[in-house]
Each structure stands twice: as structure tokens, then as C-alpha cells.
Structure 1
Amino acid sequence: MSDIASAAVFFPEKAAVYQSSFQQVKPTSRLVLTLMDGSERTFRVPMRVGRILQADLDALPQSASEAVDYIDSLQRRVAFSYLVDVLSRRDHSTKEIQDKLKGQGFSPSSIESAVEKARQSRYLDDARFASYFVDERVRRGWGRIKIEQELQRRGVDPAEIPGYPEEFFDEQSDVERAAALLARKSIPENKPFEKLVRHLMSKGFSYSIARDAVQQRLCRDS
């Protein structure tokens, strides 16, 4: 492969960057290498990678093949740095992190590298994430069904959580949490049983838990 004659980084228009704030996938920058034989090689890289390249284009190797390896290595480093920054704000599941990296425009190989390194360093741990997620949602008053649906949406199988579900749920505490939610609601005048049961089921409680909690509330208020 020919040596590099020149290199330039191009960024998307400001309007495209602004619109991307409402999208899952961000615009990427372009690194264009012009080779000695007159041909061009174009690379799509995340904007944060493009800014690093633009700031120091002289760091690019003059050999095109070595430049490709340099760009790949840079993407891997920046992907891992971005991953650590995201996790410093809150814990994420592996799937959430993969989606965020993909949305930034990182290559599949750099995503795989960053995720594997994070797992080895224990920055990423789906079991830890899931355990905290369940505890926190239980404190919010969520029911088991809704919690499991949200875990699955985040790429976590509840069956793989150590001690799940016995260490997180029991029927009596579920009824108590459902009752606490009902305590903040007034009793509808029309079809109170059906409406209150539907309300609790929308929060992720099973029909049997919702039924028991509503019956207790109606009996007490009657």
C-alpha cells in the first residue's frame, strides 16, 4: 500500500450535530488519506476520535498500512476511555454499554475490545448491575414482572442473577409494596376493584398480588 501524501479530517455540519441529539446514532467524522499514487482512503470514525486526529495529524504514520493500525488502536483506546466515563456516572449492563458505543460510531472491533477489557477490570459486571437494579426498583415500588421486563430490555437474563428471585422477592413483602402504592391513590367510585388491580398490574405486580392488596385496601376502607 502506498505512503500517505496528505491527511484531512472532516466533520458533519452543525445542523446535523444538533439534530443528532434526538437520535440514537451520532454523526461521525471522516478521515481522508490521500496516497502517493493519487488514490484516497476514507475512514468513518467517532467525532471524539476525529478531534484527536485533527489535533495531531503528524502523529499518523506515513505508511498507509501502519496508519490503518494506528486508527484502529486509537479507536480502541478512545472507546475504552468513553466507556469508563459513562460508567463513572452510573452502572450499566453490557448491552447498554454496547449500544452507547455503537451510537457514538465506534467500530465493532473497538467495541468488543473495550467491553472485554472492562469485564476483565470488573468495570462491567452484569450480575452486580442486575442486583443493584432490582434492589433500587423494589425500593421504588416496582413489581417483579416490570423489573424482569426492564432487565431483559437491558440484555440481562433474570435467571442468571445469583439468588434470584428468592433473595429479592417474597409474597408478603410484594403485597406490602403494592399496598403502599395503593395508599397514595383514592378509591375510584366506579369499578374500584378492577381499576385498582389494573393500576398495580401496570406497575409490574402479578394479578394475585394485586388482587390481595386491593382486597385488603377495600376491606379496610369499607
Structure 2
Amino acid sequence: MKRRSDAGDDQKPKPSAYSKALGLLARREHSRRELKLKLRQGGYEGEEAGAALDRLGEQHYQDDDRFAEMLVRSRVGQGYGPMRLRAELKSHGLSDARIREVLDAAEVDWAAVASAQLRRRYGAGAAPDSGERARRAQFLLRRGFPAATVRNVTHADVDDAADEPD
């Protein structure tokens, strides 16, 4: 009978970086940058992680384009605007040109998404005063909608400076 103190001998060997990354991809899509970070946090060296990511890319298990398309579909469904999506995709290491392509290919009616968010949050009624219109406009700006879209949907005075990245 083994004693508890011998339990250290029964530990499983650490899976390869490839196996670890493949397991992460089995749960959901990940960007290359995200997988690389998770592998580093898991104690995998840069060379081993890089080789694993290259292999996953060659086998089409990991694809930043597919990841970006999935993320855009998901976030649009959650009611986020294009500026929020652009920032999130940029944080995953996608180029500005690729981000533009993905957002254009999504063919989203941003005004309709913004209107749906307002209805979901505030109901179908119109804002009774300018203070309420401003509150609703700020809500949409925080969700990543451009000032022009927010102005059209809420009829509030919104400064175009809201579109400038921080």
C-alpha cells in the first residue's frame, strides 16, 4: 500500500507544447498570440512553443483569420460595435489591414446592432430628455460604436472626439 508521501512519484509527465495547444484549440478558437502566451505561462520554452504553433498552423488547426471571423461574429451577437472589435482584434496581434478586411466581410448593419442594444437596455420608448439621450449615447460609445452611428440612433449631441483611440 502506497503512502501519501509517495504520491509525487505518480505525477503525470507534462504534455508537449503541441498537445497542450491542441487541447486549448479543442475547446475554442485562439489567436496565435493568445496560444503563445498561454504556453509561456504553462512553462514551455519559446522555441518549443513556436514549433508547436507553426505545426498547428500548417495543419490548419490554428488560423488567425478563422479566429478573427469567429470573434467578430460572437461580439456582434453580444452587441459590441466596430471600434471595440478593432481594439480586441488588435490585442490579438492582427494587422490593421486584416482587421479592416474581417470587419468589411462581416457586412454588419452597425446602426441596427446599436438600436437593438438600446432596445434591450432601455426598452422601446424614446428618451424623454436630453440627459437621458446623453446617457444612452454614452452607453453605445462604451460598447464601441462610432460617434456618427450613436448620433443617428440616439439623436444626442456626440462629439467626434469620442472616436479617437486613447
- State the TM-score, normalizing by the size of structure 2: 0.77
Offset of residue 192 of structure 1 = 1.6
Superimposed CA distance per residue, residues 172-203 of structure 1 (whole angstroms, 9 cap, x where no aligned partner): x1111101111123347661222111110100
Contact 2:68–2:102 (8 Å) recurs in 1: no
Structure with the largest fraction of strand: 1
1:23 aligned partner: none
* Post-superposition CA distance 1:99-138 (Å, at most 9, x none): 0000001111111111111111111110111011111211
Q: How high is the sequence identity, in percent, across the aligned residues?
A: 26
**Stretches of structure 1 lacking an aligned partner (at least 5 in a row):** 1-10, 12-49, 53-74, 217-222
The normalised TM-score by structure 1 is 0.59
Deviations 1:26-82 (A, max 9, x none): xxxxxxxxxxxxxxxxxxxxxxxx842xxxxxxxxxxxxxxxxxxxxxx8x711000
1:146 is aligned to 84
Which runs of no fewer than 5 residues in structure 2 stay unpaired?
1-7, 157-166
* Alignment match, 1:109: 47
Give the CA deviation at 1:167.
2.0
Bigger radius of gyration: 1
Distance 1:121 1:162 in 2: 26
The separation in 2 between residues aligned to 1:198 and 1:161, in whole angstroms, is 25
**Which of 131, 135, 155 is matched with 1:215 structurally?**
155
Structure 1 residue 152 displacement after superposition: 1.0
Instruction: Report the number of matched residues.
Output: 143
Q: Secondary structure at the match of 1:184?
A: helix
The correspondence for 1:165, drawn from 82, 95, 103, is 103
The 5 Å alignment of 1:118-137 reads 118-137=56-75
- Tell me, yes or no, if the aligned pair for 1:127 and 1:161 is still in contact at 8 Å: no
